[in-house]
Amino acid sequence: MPTEHWPLPGLRVRAPRVELRLPTEPELFELADRAAHGVVVPGTRPFRSDWAHGTPAERARAVLRAHWRSQADWTPEDWSLPLAVFLDGHPIGVQSIRAKDFAVRRETLSGSWLTLPHHGRGLGTEARAAMLHLVFTGLRAEDATSASFTDNAASIAVSRKLGYRPDGLERENRHGEPATTQRFRLTRADWAATTRPDVTLDGVAPCAELFGLPPDGDG
C-alpha cells in the first residue's frame, strides 16, 4: 500500500477499458508470466533492447528487473514510471514514461508493450491516451515524445492517431544491424485539440515531489 514516504503505488489512471498503475508484487509476477508467453510478433524487432527475444524465463526476469530497477533508481531529476496496463483486473502489458530534469524541461518520453493476445484491439492506443492525460493534466508537461523504428507501423499509427507530429530521424544499431528511428512530439496545444477518451486520475498530488514538482500543485 502507498505511504507518505513512497506514494507512487497510489497513483491511478483510469480509461474506459484499461487502468494504469504500479502492480503489486503478485500482479508483477503475473505480468512477468504473461510476458514469458510472448510480447512481439515473431520475425519483428520493434524494441531497441532485445529483452523480448530471449527465452520465456529471460523475458519474465526482464520484466521483473525493469520494475524493481525503476523504483530503486528513482530520483526527481531522473525517473522512469512503468505503469502496468490492467484489463478486467489483470495486467496485460506496460505503458511507461520517463524524464530527466522534468521540473525544468517539462518533457516526457514514452514506451510500451502488450502481451500478444491483446495486440490489434485498440488497447495500446487507449493506454497511451490515458498516459498522455497523466502527462499533460496530472504532471503539467509541455511536451510528450515517443520514438519508433520506421518499420514499426503499429506504433507509428498510434502516435499519428493521437496527434503527435514527426520530430526527426535517427540512425541506430538495432541488434547489430542499422535501423532508422522516427521521433515524434506531441505539444500541449496539439494534445488539447485532439479527441480522446474520458480519463480520470487519482493519487497524483501526493507524488508531486517525486516528479520534481512543487507539492502544492503549482508550477
Q: Which residues, including other chains, have CB under 8 Å from residue 13's CB and lie 6 or more apart?
A: 19, 20, 21, 83, 130, 131, 133, 134, 138, 199, 200, 201
pLDDT of residue 52: 87
pLDDT of residue 2: 62
State the DSSP code for 88.
Answer: T
Q: How many residues does the chain have?
A: 219
Q: How far is C-alpha 97 from the geometric centre of its chain's CA atoms? A: 4
pLDDT of residue 100: 97
Q: Report the C-alpha gap between 60 and 74 in whole angstroms.
A: 22
- Ramachandran quadrant class, 211 (left: phi over 0; alpha: psi -120 to 50; beta: rest): alpha
Walk along the chain (219 residues) and give the pLDDT tens digit of each residue.
567 899 999 999 999 999 999 999 999 999 999 999 999 988 888 888 888 888 999 999 999 999 999 999 999 999 999 999 999 999 999 999 999 999 999 999 999 999 999 999 999 999 999 999 999 999 999 999 999 999 999 999 999 999 999 999 999 998 888 999 999 999 999 999 988 889 999 999 999 999 999 876 443
Q: Report the C-alpha gap between 71 and 80 in whole angstroms.
A: 8
pLDDT of residue 34: 97
pTM of the model: 0.93
The count of other CB atoms within 10 Å of the CB of residue 44 is 14
pLDDT of residue 216: 62
Strands (E), the chain: 12-14, 18-21, 78-87, 90-100, 107-114, 143-149, 165-174, 177-187, 200-202
pLDDT of residue 1: 59
* Residue (of 165, 16, 187, 185) closest to 86 by Cα position: 16
pLDDT of residue 160: 96
- Going across the sheet that includes 18-21, the strands are 165-174, 177-187, 143-149, 107-114, 90-100, 78-87, 18-21, 12-14, 200-202
pLDDT of residue 45: 84
Q: Report the C-alpha gap between 103 and 40 in whole angstroms.
A: 34
